[in-house]
Amino acid sequence: MTDINELLKLIPVDDIANQLGVDKQTAQQGIQTALPTLIGGLQANAADPAGAKSLEHALEKKDTSLVEGRVSLADIDTNDGEKIVKNVFGSNTDQVAAALGSAPGGQTSGLVQKLLPILAPIVLAWLAKKFLGGQQGASTTAGSGSGGGLEDLLGGILGGGSGSSAGSANAGGGAGGGLGDILGQVLGGASGSSKPAGGGLGGGLGDILGGLLGGGKR
């Protein structure tokens, strides 16, 4: 099963921390908060047939060489990343960054705004590799229907990331345990039994992504 921890392992945390002028732990907390939100936003778009078709076309054209081996920051086109983020979150982009900035951890909304365009091309290249690989392996299954295979892939990634505390812990650092909580809140929060003190993320970000899932982006 595809797991978000597999994606987390590809992220060059040290390089990102150096580039953004923050310590490794802060960068890692920001990354572990932002990645599932990007996946959740893509899943929200894929829930709509037109959005699923658009995302499938983007994945089919995406160069996956970025995620073949070690990801190099020099190979990341952040201008493209900004476009991806805008396509995913639309007019809610600033609200998403603000909600993630108020989540538990050392990240700020300003850091999240810098992280999202770096992470988005990695996420899309990785998803393209998974999606296209699935189509080649089972052409009648992965690409069938109006985005069913794509939506299943995205849902499986999020389910894999939050389903096992051992898996989350393995993603590295002390923030791994919080990933499941953040995922639960990002996707509406019903399954997360423990909400972080302050609860700013659950309402704000849950509402934003709930709006996306209900077509709020449009």
**Distance (Å, whole) CA 127 – CA 56:** 10
Domain assignments of the chain as residue spans, ordered by start: 4-213
CA distance to 4, 75, 82, 91, 184, per residue, from 18 (Å): 23, 16, 20, 30, 30
pLDDT higher than 50, residue 108: yes
- Backbone dihedral angles phi then psi of residue 11, each to the nearest 5 degrees: -75, 125
Q: What is the pLDDT of residue 119?
A: 97
Q: Which tens digit of pLDDT belongs to each residue from 109-132?
A: 999 999 999 999 999 999 888 887
**Of residues 114 and 4, more confidently modeled:** 114
pLDDT band at residue 201 using 50, 70 and 90 as cut-offs: very low
**Distance (Å, whole) CA 42 – CA 88:** 6
Among the residue ranges 18-32, 49-63, 138-152, the one predicted with the least confidence is 138-152
**Distance (Å, whole) CA 76 – CA 116:** 12
SS3 content of the chain, % helix, strand, coil (to 5): 75, 0, 25
Q: What is the mean pLDDT of the chain?
A: 72
Q: Which tens digit of pLDDT belongs to each residue from 134-193?
A: 554 444 444 444 445 666 677 667 664 433 333 333 333 333 334 334 434 444 433 333
**Would residue 11 be called left, alpha or beta, if left means φ above 0 and alpha means ψ between -120 and 50 degrees?**
beta
